[in-house]
Amino acid sequence: MALYVKKFGGSSVATPEKMRNIARRILSERQPGDQIVIVVSAMGDSTDDLLALASQVTKDHFGREMDMLLTTGEQVSIALMALTFQAMGVPAISLTAAQAGIIAEGAFSKADIVDVRPDRVFRELDAGKIVIVAGFQGVTSEGDVVTLGRGGSDTTAVALAGAMKADMCEIFTDVDGVYSADPRYVPDAVKIDEITNEEMLEMARLGAGVMQPKSVEMGMRYHIPIHVRSTFTKEAGTIIREETTMNHTQFAVRGVAQDAHIAKIAVLGVPNVPGMAYSVFNALAENHVSVDMIVQSIRSADTDKTDIIFTIDNNDLDEAKKVLEALKQEGGVPDVIYSDDKAKVSIVGAGMLGAPGIAARMFGALGRSGVNIDIISTSEISISCLIPRTDLTKAVQAIHKEFFGSEQA
């Protein structure tokens, strides 16, 4: 007897037939006494379709009404999934985030789960039902529905699993685990059997879209192992777990990640006096724009001007432009240049620290492929390079070949 939280992504629930297959699989694997909570995403590409629909009436994709619109996608899936079970004669109930006690706060479209109060979920499980919860959404203390950022159903599932002390959180998706690179970019990427929370979090933050970064943080907070696996096959996938429970020895490089959605902003000719960086980054933070790579450089020894160059998610570019152009009008910054054609490629591995020469190998692979590096940044377990977006596929493949080609890292 165990409590499972099983999350199915958009491609897994894309059609009623796929929903029926999921229901059949869950019922055939269920042991007597097992309690099952299912978290589902919107069907197929329906979140993108809703965004496209909104584009026909507004350019502004953030705010209360956008979240009201986008959360409908998951509500279609939960109801259909519950109806699927009921049609098979199995008691099931769908719950929205408000009904399941998923409490969230923060900006619309990127809210964070701050509390989970799963009393109703427990009651329905105890009444013998399969409970189907809408992913990607939360409810605020005001009663507004908010979304948790793209890929947010992963976070709903892990938060629920953690708060309910589930035995396992399973993330079912269209790949059979976490790979050494996105298989869409690198067809011969290799499946990773187990990966530490820290490595997975870094991969996810650096663009490995298979898990939303916040979901990995939730897993760390609640000490809950996560099994990423295929909806369509029964083989074991990848276990994301705490380092102390890992069986495998560390690899210097565990994976390559890429992010194609980067914009670069250069604030030029800023007076080299205290408080300038603060005024730029504080204005952005107040408007919920997160900044990633940052470089500040002095133009030359005999000038008192500096350039501040940084990157953001290109979905935030319009908001950042508004903020920085307002700052410019007020005389806060002299000149700003925006480029929306960048990408970031990264390598991740907890063993990287003790292995000299890793950075040189990455830069060598890029150099031999004729890819120019714009900005380099590092963390304890990763190295990232900002490059032209048009070179991204070739860069990811070259770096993957360097570390996972004939010679393993």
Which residues lie near ligand ASP (CB under 6 A)? 9-10, 41-42, 47, 73, 135-136, 150-154
Q: Pattern 132-171, binding to ligand ADP, x per CB under 6 A?
A: -------------------x--------------------
The CA distance from 75 to 131, in Å, is 13
- Smallest gap from residue 48 Cβ to ligand ADP (A): 11
Q: Is 179 in the site for ligand ADP (CB under 6 A)?
A: yes
* Dihedrals phi, psi of 196, to nearest 5 degrees: -75, 155
Q: Is 310 in the site for ligand ADP (CB under 6 A)?
A: no
**Which of 44, 118, 135, 151 is the binder for Mg ion (CB under 5 A)?**
151
Which segment (1-9, 28-36, 220-228, 229-237) binds Mg ion by CB under 5 A?
Answer: 1-9
Q: Is 174 in the site for ligand ADP (CB under 6 A)?
A: yes
The number of residues that bind ligand ADP (CB under 6 A) is 19
**Which of 19, 104, 139, 210 is the binder for ligand ADP (CB under 6 A)?**
210
Residue 47 or 140 having the CB closest to ligand ASP:
47
Which segment (202-210, 266-274, 375-383, 395-403) binds ligand ADP by CB under 6 A?
Answer: 202-210
3-state SS track over the chain: CCEEEEEECHHHHCCHHHHHHHHHHHHHHCCCCCEEEEEECCCCCHHHHHHHHHHCCCCCCCCHHHHHHHHHHHHHHHHHHHHHHHHCCCCEEEECHHHHCEEEECCCCCCEEEEECCHHHHHHHHCCCEEEEECCEEECCCCCEEECCCCCHHHHHHHHHHHCCCCEEEEEECCCCCECCCCCCCCCCCECCEEEHHHHHHHHHCCCCCCCHHHHHHHHHHCCCEEEEECCCCCCCEEEECHHHCCCCCCCCCEEEEEEEEEEEEEEEEECCCCHHHHHHHHHHHCCCCEEEEEEEECCCCCCEEEEEEEEEHHHHHHHHHHHHHHHHCCCCCEEEEEEEEEEEEEECHHHCCCCCHHHHHHHHHHHCCCCCCEEEEECCEEEEEEEHHHHHHHHHHHHHHHHCCCCC
The residue nearest ligand ADP at its CB is 9
Residue 200 or 283 having the CB closest to Mg ion:
200
- Smallest gap from residue 74 Cβ to ligand ASP (A): 6
- Smallest gap from residue 187 Cβ to ligand ADP (A): 11
- Smallest gap from residue 180 Cβ to ligand ADP (A): 7
Q: Is 152 in the site for Mg ion (CB under 5 A)?
A: no
Q: Is 219 in the site for Mg ion (CB under 5 A)?
A: no
- Smallest gap from residue 12 Cβ to Mg ion (A): 10
Residue 208 touches which member of ligand ADP, ligand ASP, Mg ion, none, C-beta under 5-8 Å by kind: ligand ADP
Q: Is 173 in the site for ligand ADP (CB under 6 A)?
A: yes
Task: By CB under 6 A, name the binding residues for ligand ADP.
Answer: 9-12, 41, 151, 173-175, 178-179, 181-184, 208-210, 255
Task: By CB under 5 A, name the binding residues for Mg ion.
Answer: 9, 151
